[in-house]
Amino acid sequence: MRRLLSCLLSVALLMLQPVAAQPNLAQRIGTTLADTGVPGYRFATLRLSSADGERHYRLRVALPTGPAPAGGHPVAWLLDGNAALMDVGAATLSELARRPAAPVIVFVAHDNDLRIDGAARAFDYTPRRPGGDAAQRDPLGSRRNGGADAFLDLITTQAMPQVAALAPVDPARQALWGHSYGGVFVLHALFTRPQAFADYGAADPSLWWGDGQLAREEAAAAAWSARTRLRLWLGAGAGERQPPAGRDAARLEIMQRARQSAPPDAAPALAARLRHRGLAVEVLDLPGLSHGQTLGASLPPFLFGLTQGE
């Protein structure tokens, strides 16, 4: 009954979330709940830099004000943190704060006021492919790829200890969420460092990226623990073949060709293979929503899912 009520509440709150059909790379973050506050949570800010000093990050950390559970709070790491912070509503956070195992929520963003930093995420969220620097070219333009391992190191070796210093957390209940290229990062972490997190959530991951790189990582992945799980949210955009309007013809053609390199059933087929290998996998459809809309829509069920089993 508790699981049913949780799911119903998650769906109800999901319907309140603002969503955008396609990401606007020029959109600014503006005022968010981290600035205005919300009952049941207080916010702290952490700033980190990459090992080479070229990239800078701002982590807005939502800390429950209520007592911590005996084992510590679960922790949700949300990529595209500015966009996630804009799309997580006050009702969602207030309800989460009332749960006995309210999660600490880390909104992991690049240190600027862009909702989506396209160039920075194209580098940080994608693994390095075979070949030299010339091979680390993004299929959708001149952006660089290949920084996922360094970014994952930063989260696990620097950010995690700093967040743990802010509140009592349960190191065995760390969860990672990402959308689109962020979903590529989530799957890369699952395949290459499955012990880093217990719960992985990918909203419409860009499975077409990298000319089969994720498939190669999947085939080479080590076994995961019995408590590890993956959740995949799929909207209508998961199988879209028409790229968003308003871009130049050459970019449209490149994007369309890249997306067509993965079959429409790539995500369900991935889930089936991983289940066969013993991983707990849930596929959750978000019918009628575009690729861009799945970002905000997947956040409430992902966050409420961390409080189940209290």
Residue 310 lies in a domain: no
Residue 106 lies in a domain: yes
CA of 101: how far to CAs of 14, 71, 228, 253, in Å? 20, 9, 18, 47
How many structural domains does the chain have?
1
Give the β-pairing of 104-110 and 199-203: unpaired
Query: Which residue numbers are catalytic?
Result: 180, 240, 291
Give the β-pairing of 280-286 and 199-203: unpaired
Instruction: Pick the closest to residue 203 from 229, 175, 179 (CA basis).
Output: 179
Compute CA 281 distance to the chain's CA centroid, rounded to the nearest angstrom.
Answer: 16
Instruction: Measure the CA angle with vertex 184, ends 166 and 244; round to 5°.
Output: 115
pLDDT in tens, the chain (310 residues): 334 334 433 433 333 333 334 456 678 888 899 999 999 999 999 999 999 999 999 999 999 999 999 999 999 999 999 999 999 999 999 999 999 999 999 999 999 999 999 999 999 999 999 988 888 988 877 899 999 999 999 999 999 999 999 999 999 999 999 999 999 999 999 999 999 999 999 999 999 998 889 999 999 999 899 899 999 999 865 444 444 455 556 655 666 666 666 788 899 999 999 999 999 999 999 988 988 899 999 999 999 999 876 5
Print the domain residue range for 289: 2-305
Q: Is 210 helix (H, G, I), strand (E, B) or coil?
A: coil
Domain CATH code at residue 79: 3.40.50.1820
Residue 136 lies in a domain: yes
pTM of model > 0.85: yes
Spatial separation of the C-alpha atoms in residues 168 and 237, rounded to whole Å? 38
Q: Is 126 helix (H, G, I), strand (E, B) or coil?
A: coil
